[in-house]
């Protein structure tokens, strides 16, 4: 048997194993034919996403929004970005779901069913900003490794659940606890059950914040499967990778959590600035915590046209990790001068803030509208790309849209 036939038969055997039955007449398939059951599903239908969303990767699934899709104050599921590291788990029976809390720094290991969490702890609801640490990676030069996110790997949905702090208090935490790590039900891309696709965490100070939730609802409904059903950790203001999906276990550690994608260069930045393309040791990388100040123009769409003499209303959102946004400005002269926007307060801590402005243009022609947020500590978005880093994290350069006045 030649190698081509061997590869084909191996693939058919793997597919037969996956579906749990023989492929009748499989030997008669035309060379190169892919059975319908083995073809990837349409992710827009599968995950109930708007067709204007942008698919970046299907192994694993990664999808982002376009700027104008993020205009809602509360991000609906159809516009919420997908960032996965492994294979979305099959739907498990909620009645069988257990969350275990263990680790070196718990006084006693405990497990909770979903009904236990809902009946024993007070529910809380917060609107929380989640942004992928690599949002904006596509702009870095030289290119950085990873999904080439542009501007749409951010959301601000409403999450309901119980405070992680309350659960940890019920378990009992030792004085040497410094970190928590999460463990989910998603599978490694190799399907090796001994490998975790991702297992990150946060320091105890973040774990014990009021807004850090073990969530079971998103926007008032059960969390969609692709976003973590039935249980998800949500820690707003930090890279979304710390908000573990399909939550099965939380380990309380007496050291910085060393799970998958906690070490090396994953979700780490150079501790000191480096030159573009420079090779840097893992020992010189620091874990990303609070996300930087950033903003996004959600209306109008880039490429808008307006008749001379009329004014244009713009609006969007701004956020600043653990902080609030203190000032919002726009420029139509490539950053030479800035004018103030109206800026709303967040509905709760760690939620994004709505901004708006009405803009007059001096004459017909091409313009760019730039948006710049400043946080309550006085740090502003850079007008150009911030410092280069190997993984293309934390690009918070000013968002810009193109406008033509006719």
- 128 SS3 class: strand
Place of tokens 């929380």: 128
With a CB cutoff of 8 Å and minimum separation 6, the contacts of 312 are 300, 304, 306, 358, 359, 361, 403
Separation between Cα atoms, residue 8 and residue 31, nearest integer Å = 8
Two tokens at 18? 């996956």
Residue 146 contacts by C-beta under 8 Å, 6 or more apart in sequence? 134, 137, 391, 392
Domains of the chain, with CATH numbers?
1-39 (no CATH), 61-287 (3.90.420.10), 294-405 (2.60.40.650)
Cite the beta strand spans of 164-239 per DSSP E.
Answer: 179-184, 201-203, 213-218, 221-222, 232-234
Distance, CA of 163 to CA of 215 (rounded, Å): 8
Neighbours of 91 (CB within 10 A): 9
Give the whole-angstrom CA distance, residue 318 versus residue 301: 17
End-to-end CA distance of the chain: 69
In 3D space, the residue among 323, 183, 154 whose CA is nearest the CA of residue 249 turns out to be: 183
pLDDT number for residue 140: 94
Kind of pairing between the strands at 325-331 and 365-375: antiparallel
- Cα–Cα distances in angstroms (integers) from residue 228 to residues 47, 349, 370, in the given order: 12, 23, 35
Strands (E), 11-97: 54-58, 61-64, 82-83
CB 201 within 8 A of CB 262: yes
pTM above 0.85, yes or no: yes
Return the closest-CA partner of residue 209 out of 154, 134, 128: 128
| Residue whose structure tokens are 């290991």 | 109
Element (H, E) at 259: none
The residue with tokens 């942004």 is 131
- The closest of 107, 149, 115 to 131, measured between CA atoms, is 149
In sequence order, the β-bridge partners of residue 372 are 329
| Cis omega (within 30 of 0) for bond into 356 | no
Tokens of 109: 């290991």
**Shortest CA distance to 84 belongs to which of 100, 101, 114, 64?**
64
Residue 30's pLDDT is what?
A: 76
User: pLDDT by residue for the chain (406 residues), tens digit each?
Assistant: 444 454 456 556 655 655 567 788 877 777 767 676 655 678 898 899 999 999 999 989 999 999 999 999 999 999 999 999 999 998 767 889 999 999 999 999 999 999 999 999 999 999 999 999 999 999 999 999 899 999 999 999 999 999 999 999 999 999 999 999 999 999 999 999 999 999 999 999 999 999 999 999 999 999 999 999 999 999 999 999 999 999 999 999 999 999 999 999 999 999 999 999 999 999 999 999 999 999 999 999 999 999 999 999 999 999 999 999 999 999 999 999 999 999 999 999 999 999 999 999 999 999 999 999 999 999 999 998 998 999 999 999 999 999 999 9
- Both tokens of 95, joined, read 């009645």
pLDDT computed for residue 62 by the predictor: 96
Quickly list DSSP for 324-349.
-EEEEEEESSTTSS-EE-EEPPPSST
The pLDDT of residue 61 is: 93
> What b/e readout covers 20-53, taking b as 16+ CB neighbours within 10 angstroms?
eeeeeeeeeeeeeeeeeeeeeeebeeebebeeeb
Q: Which residues 6+ apart lie within 8 Å of 33 measured at CB?
A: none
């Amino acid at each position: 048997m030649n190698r081509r036939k061997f590869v084909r038969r191996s693939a058919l055997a793997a597919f037969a194993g996956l579906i749990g039955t023989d492929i009748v007449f499989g030997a008669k398939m035309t060379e190169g034919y892919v059975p319908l059951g083995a073809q990837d599903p349409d992710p827009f239908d599968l995950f109930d996403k708007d067709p204007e969303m942008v698919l970046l990767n299907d192994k694993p699934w990664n999808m982002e929004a376009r700027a104008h899709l993020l205009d809602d104050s509360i991000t609906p599921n159809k516009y919420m970005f997908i960032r996965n590291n492994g294979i979305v788990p099959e739907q498990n029976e909620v009645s069988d779901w257990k969350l275990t809390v263990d680790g070196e720094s718990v006084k006693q290991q405990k497990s909770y069913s979903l009904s236990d969490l809902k009946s024993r702890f007070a529910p809380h609801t917060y609107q929380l900003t989640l942004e992928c640490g690599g949002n904006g990676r596509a702009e870095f030069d030289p290119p950085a490794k990873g999904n080439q996110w542009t501007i749409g790997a951010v959301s601000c949905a409403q999450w309901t659940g119980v405070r992680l702090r309350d659960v940890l208090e019920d378990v009992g935490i030792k004085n040497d606890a410094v970190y928590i790590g999460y463990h989910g039900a998603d599978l490694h891309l190799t399907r090796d059950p001994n490998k975790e696709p991702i297992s990150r965490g946060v320091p105890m100070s973040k774990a014990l914040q009021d807004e850090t939730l073990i969530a079971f609802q998103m926007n008032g409904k059960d969390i969609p499967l692709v976003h973590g059903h039935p249980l998800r950790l949500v820690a707003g203001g930090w890279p979304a990778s710390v908000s573990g999906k399909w939550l099965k276990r939380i380990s309380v550690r007496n050291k910085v959590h060393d799970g998958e994608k906690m070490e090396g260069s994953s979700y780490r930045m150079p501790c000191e600035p480096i030159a573009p393309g420079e090779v840097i040791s893992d020992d010189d990388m620091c874990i990303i915590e609070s996300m930087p100040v950033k903003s996004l123009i959600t209306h109008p769409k880039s490429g808008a046209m307006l008749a001379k003499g009329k004014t244009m209303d713009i609006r969007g959102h701004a956020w600043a990790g653990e902080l609030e946004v203190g000032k919002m400005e726009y420029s139509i002269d490539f950053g030479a001068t800035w004018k103030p926007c109206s800026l709303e307060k967040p509905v709760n801590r760690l939620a994004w803030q709505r901004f708006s402005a009405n803009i007059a243009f001096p004459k017909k022609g091409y313009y760019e509208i730039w948006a710049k947020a400043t946080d309550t500590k006085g740090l502003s978005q850079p007008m150009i790309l911030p410092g280069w880093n190997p993984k293309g994290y934390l690009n918070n350069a000013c968002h810009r849209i193109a406008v033509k006045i006719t």
